[in-house]
Structure 1
Amino acid sequence: MTDTTIADTTQEVTEATQEAVDKVSRLTQYVQDSIPSLISFGLQVIMALIVFFVGRLVIKWIRKIVRRSFERSGADKGVEQFVDSLLKYGLYALLIFTLISGLGFDTTSVAALVASSGVAIGLALQGSLSNFAGGVLILLLKPFAVGDYIIEDTNGKEGTVKEIQIFYTKLTTIDNKTIVIPNGMLTNNSITNASAKDERQLDLRVGISYDADIKKVKSVIENVLVKDASIIKNEQILVFVDDLADSAVVLGIRAWVKNEEYWDTRWRMLEEIKLALDENEIEIPYPQMTVHMSENA
């Protein structure tokens, strides 16, 4: 290797080393210059987290005060739940907007972005907006209230109303399941409110054999109804032939009970009627078919 080649190689190594040193120096200088900004931003993030957790506690405190105010005023439970849910979402939105502002973001630009995206947001949230409007209509028109037993006729969902929130209404079934129904569905479909009145009609159907004595059967069932303490005696009690079916004479049974005693009485009556029919040797037939054979067959 000649002296010229060695000199050129040494020059290249020197230049590469100098370039690397310059890059490290610039990076070090950038980090040093950025440290105050990074510390400032870190402090802002820590402060934002503190504000968020404190804000959560304040929101819970405000909601608690509002709920107690509703309880003292004796306001409708559904109104209380709806306002509480609306207050929750509204206060959290205000808290988040405050945090964005505190982190140094331009709130005017954020508001302008949200406004310009209003159409897209409206289309994306049209179902939620419909449910919100449905919740407002439920509170204004009061087709039902918390504690009522309702049946959503289109899909057959039924249960006791436990909560009326901004977007959804929660029902509890008799077997303690929770059904969540969008408010828009409840306002756009027909609803049966079984708790609208203090009394509810008990409507049963029992099939008996065609060979049975109808008058005797009616007397047996009427005695069961009259003896039961939950049956309202000053209301009409009816036992009648409801249908002449293929395998049985179907008797209709109608009486009145208090709304809160409906299910217990219904279950008890079915059992007691079956036991009374068995004691009197009255048959409840299975589905059957009579076949006649021709002598020429």
Structure 2
Amino acid sequence: MWTFLAAEDPASLIVPDSVQKAHFAEAVEKIANIDYHALLQSLLSESVWILIKILIALAIYFIGRWVVRRILKLVDVAMQHRNVDISLRSFTRNTISTVFTLLLVLIVVSTLGVNVTSLIAVASAATLAIGMALSGTAQNFAGGVMILLMKPYRVGDYISAQGQSGTVRDIKLFSTVITTADNQTIYIPNNSIATAIIDNYSTADLRRVDWTVGISYGDDVDVARKAVLAMLDADSRVLKDPAPVVWVAALADSSVNLTIRAWVKNGDYWNVFFEHNEEFYKELPKHGLSFPFPQMDVHMKKE
């Protein structure tokens, strides 16, 4: 009953001055009696131990990085000896590098005294949450695996996909890197490119070059055919078998359109295409042929 009344009495919450002075004197006495030499020695000992752990962790990190590089070099040599596809080499190398780097980080953190088990548990939960939020990343990884298994293209191939055209430079864990003809670097997500229509221009050794040339109505088609075939025959890059052909493709509104087809090696395609475009323009008029252009005849009637 007394305890309840004391708790209800506001005056009981005020500590008397004598008690406060006693507590302050006790605190001052404890501070005065501290063994500063032992405290300093303890702090110094702990600082040295922490510094040693940091140095050991750094040594482990740099040695580990060296070991990882050696492992990657051995893997590269082994895959080269087994003639593993260059695309698979790149993907495997990136995967091994990522896995071993994560293991090295865990070892370094453990050396510093962090509870790795708890860290892994927290990381797993965070990975699950991030994975649900970034499900596209996992799809890109799966897309990379599908690309390596199905092999629609390899490193070094010239492809067209997702509205981009260029030479494949690398197949990474989550994206494919291509370099365009004007030296731009394009990163295409693996999931997008794995499910897209891909034009691979490098799978065959030979490639057909097509031109469409319009000549005027009244021009001699045989003369045009003979002139074009003579130009192509003089080019050693144009294959004799299959032989080049020239056909009348369409009787258009203002021109007779000729389709010209020739076969070349894959690497000669663009040079042959552009050089003969210019040659046709310069040489065909010398044979009495002309290139028409769209025009409109206006007849005025006088009333």
Shorter chain as normaliser: what TM range?
A: 0.7 to 0.9
Counterpart CA distance in 1 for 2:209 and 2:122 is: 59
Partner of residue 279, structure 2 = 272
Please say which structure displays the higher CA radius of gyration: 2
Q: Which amino acid aligns with 1:149?
A: Y
Return closer, same or farther for 1:30/1:215 CA change in 2, 3 Å cut-off: farther
Partner of residue 108, structure 2 = 99
Partner of residue 57, structure 2 = 48
Q: Which amino acid aligns with 1:262?
A: Y
Q: Judge which range, 141-150 or 227-236, deviates more.
A: 227-236
The root-mean-square deviation of aligned C-alpha atoms, in Å, is 2.8
Report if the CA contact (8 A) 1:247-1:289 is conserved.
no
Q: Judge which range, 242-251 or 193-202, deviates more.
A: 242-251
Q: TM-score, normalised by structure 1?
A: 0.83
Q: Judge which range, 163-172 or 89-98, deviates more.
A: 163-172
Counterpart CA distance in 2 for 1:86 and 1:104 is: 28
Counterpart CA distance in 1 for 2:220 and 2:56 is: 85
How far apart are 1:110 and its partner, in Å? 1.0
Residues 115-173 of structure 1: per-residue CA shift (max 9 Å, x gap): 22343121243222222111111111111112221111x31x11222222222222233
1:59 and 2:91 equivalent?
no
Partner of residue 135, structure 1 = 144
Report if the CA contact (8 A) 1:160-1:171 is conserved.
yes
How far apart are 1:176 and its partner, in Å? 3.3
Aligned length: 278
Counterpart CA distance in 1 for 2:282 and 2:240 is: 22
Partner of residue 74, structure 1 = 83
| Runs of 5+ consecutive residues of structure 2 not aligned to the other structure | 1-20
Partner of residue 232, structure 2 = 225
Q: Which amino acid aligns with 1:254?
A: R
Give the 3-state SS of the residue equivalent to 2:242 in structure 1.
coil
Taking every aligned residue pair, what percent have the same amino acid on both sides? Answer: 36
How far apart are 1:208 and its partner, in Å? 2.6
Partner of residue 162, structure 1 = 169
How far apart are 1:97 and its partner, in Å? 1.1
Q: TM-score, normalised by structure 2?
A: 0.81
Partner of residue 210, structure 1 = 217
Residues 241-289 of structure 1: per-residue CA shift (max 9 Å, x gap): 3344444333221121111221222122212222221322422234433
Counterpart CA distance in 2 for 1:193 and 1:170 is: 15
Q: Which amino acid aligns with 2:239?
A: I
Return closer, same or farther for 1:28/1:216 CA change in 2, 3 Å cut-off: farther
Q: Which amino acid aligns with 2:84?
A: A
Give the 3-state SS of the residue equivalent to 1:202 in structure 2.
strand
Return closer, same or farther for 1:30/1:232 CA change in 2, 3 Å cut-off: same
